[in-house]
């Protein structure tokens, strides 16, 4: 299936809502955390899969602003898992020439998480293959509000006029500054919603919802299938079919 992918028409930016860990665990009578632990293999698969193909950006929705409302036990387990995973994955990231970045309200993460993250970001900063971007304590509304505050401050201190706030200026004030908008958004777990993910950046993304796959079961062939579906979609960006250069 991989060989059917047109490498000249890859999505430049893939974003994933990695959903269904809890249900996956529950199905086998285990605690939700068991699902989170088994999600790591899927993260490795999607990252390697994107790196191998030559996808430029991969953003993974890892922990949302709203996820802070979960039971403390689950939050603690997730943060613990995050620290250990980041630490353990650095060699694999180096091997695959992957640069790690993060977006979100990072200050709200536990100290150990922040330091592990900062260290991994530093160690991989010169890799020029795939950019793996983790959305952590992130939400689309948060991102838009932060960007708005930044622009308002620039107007206040006289470095920007209100009329200069165009799409480009706004995009550059978002946490994803310098990263292309999302071409393909994959969501596992079957829920047909955005869950406050990258609201601005998803404006023209092709949505690929997997109804029968929970995140811990996600493997490279699922990624290939999603990309093939993407390549069969007609992205019109408001135009009519006949206007598109084939």
Is the Cα dihedral 66, 61, 146, 205 positive or negative?
A: negative
142 is in an annotated binding site: no
Among 34, 57, 63, 218, binds ligand IPE (CB under 6 A): 63
* Catalytic residue (choose from 6, 9, 38, 67): 67
Give yes or no for residue 143 binding Mg ion (CB under 5 A): no
The angle that helices 72-95 and 111-123 make with each other, rounded to 10 degrees, is: 10
Q: Which of 11, 19, 140, 213 binds ligand IPE (CB under 6 A)?
A: 19
Annotation marks residue 19 as catalytic: yes
131 is catalytic: no
Residues numbered 69 to 108 that lie near ligand IPE (CB under 6 A) are: 78
107 marked as binding residue? no
Cα–Cα separations (whole angstroms), residue 55 to 30, 84, 171, 180:
35, 26, 21, 12
Q: Which residues between 12 and 41 bind Mg ion (CB under 5 A)?
A: 19
CB of 234 to ligand IPE, least distance (A): 28
Q: What is the dihedral of CA 40, 42, 44, 50, to 10 degrees?
A: -150
The label of the residue with tokens 């994933």 reads 16
Looking at 6, 9, 19, 212, which residue is catalytic? Answer: 19
Rounded CA gap, 96 and 52, in Å?
8
Among 10, 14, 21, 133, binds ligand IPE (CB under 6 A): 21
Contact at 8 Å (CB) between 146 and 104?
no
Q: What angle do CA 3, 5, 10 make, to 5 degrees?
A: 145
Q: From the list 17, 109, 182, 210, which residue makes contact with ligand IPE (rule: CB under 6 A)?
A: 17
**Binding-site residues from annotation for Mg(2+):** 19, 206
Residues within the interface to ligand IPE (CB under 6 A):
17-23, 61-64, 66-67, 78, 189, 191, 193, 195, 215
Residues within the interface to Mg ion (CB under 5 A):
19
């Amino acid at each position: 299936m991989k060989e059917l992918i047109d490498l000249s028409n890859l999505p430049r930016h893939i974003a994933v809502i990695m959903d269904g860990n809890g249900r996956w665990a529950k199905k086998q009578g285990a605690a939700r955390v068991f699902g989170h632990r088994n999600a790591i293999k899927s993260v490795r698969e999607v990252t390697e899969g994107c790196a191998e193909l030559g996808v430029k950006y991969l953003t993974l929705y890892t922990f949302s602003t709203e996820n802070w409302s979960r039971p403390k036990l689950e939050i603690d387990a997730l943060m613990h898992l995050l620290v250990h995973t980041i630490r353990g994955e650095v060699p694999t990231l180096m091997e695959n020439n992957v640069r790690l970045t993060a977006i979100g309200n990072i200050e709200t993460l536990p100290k150990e998480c922040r330091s592990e993250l900062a260290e991994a970001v530093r160690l991989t900063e010169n890799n020029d293959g795939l950019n793996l971007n983790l959305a952590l304590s992130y939400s689309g509304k948060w991102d838009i509000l932060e960007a708005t505050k930044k622009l308002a401050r620039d107007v206040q201190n006289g470095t920007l006029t209100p009329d200069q706030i165009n799409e480009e200026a706004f995009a550059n004030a978002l946490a994803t500054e310098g990263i292309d908008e999302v071409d393909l958004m994959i969501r596992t777990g079957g829920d047909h919603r955005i869950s406050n993910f990258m609201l601005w950046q998803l404006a023209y993304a092709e949505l690929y919802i997997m109804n029968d796959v929970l995140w811990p079961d996600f493997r490279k062939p699922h990624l290939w299938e999603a990309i093939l579906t993407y390549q069969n979609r007609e992205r019109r960006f408001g135009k009519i079919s006949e206007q598109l250069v084939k």
